[in-house]
Amino acid sequence: MKLVIVTSVEEFQKDVLRLFKNADIHNLSSSDIDGYKNGSSVLMTSSWFPGEKFGNESRLFFSFTEDENINILFRLIQEFNSTLETNNAVRAVVVPIERSI
């Protein structure tokens, strides 16, 4: 069993849930997060409050699941990302679980 963690911008929430379902991963959790990129953007430098940081509304999904489901999920995410016309790709990582109860 491993922990798979997926992040995406809020707009892709339904797509990511569909990817989990198609990978036969039905038990998962999610949370709202703010995503930030380092560096100054035009929006930040032209702000009335230049010290204010702007984040993107994002989602974090995670699930404890088996390797075969994760392999399918990664393939589906790669296919999904290849069709995007934005630089906000869906990201995923896998963390091995040493012990669990």
Q: For the whole prediction, is pTM greater than 0.85? A: no
Angle subtended by helix axes 13-22 and 67-82, to nearest 10: 140
**Which CATH number characterizes residue 8's domain?**
3.30.70.120
Q: What does pLDDT average to over the chain?
A: 86
- Count: domains in the chain: 1
pLDDT per position as a tens digit, 15-50: 999 999 999 999 999 999 987 766 555 444 444 555
- 25 lies in a domain? yes
Whether 31 maps to a domain, the answer reads: yes
Report how far residue 81's alpha carbon sits from residue 83's, in angstroms, rounded to the nearest whole number.
5
Which residues are within 8 A (CB) of 30 and not within 5 positions of it... i.e. 6 or more apart?
Answer: 13, 59, 60, 61, 62
Indicate whether 52 belongs to any domain: yes
Report the share of the chain in percent with pLDDT over 90: 64
Domain with 48, as residue range(s), is 2-96
Residue 57 placed within a domain: yes
Residue 88 inside a domain? The answer is yes
CA distances from 8 to 15, 37, 42, 45 (A): 10, 13, 22, 25
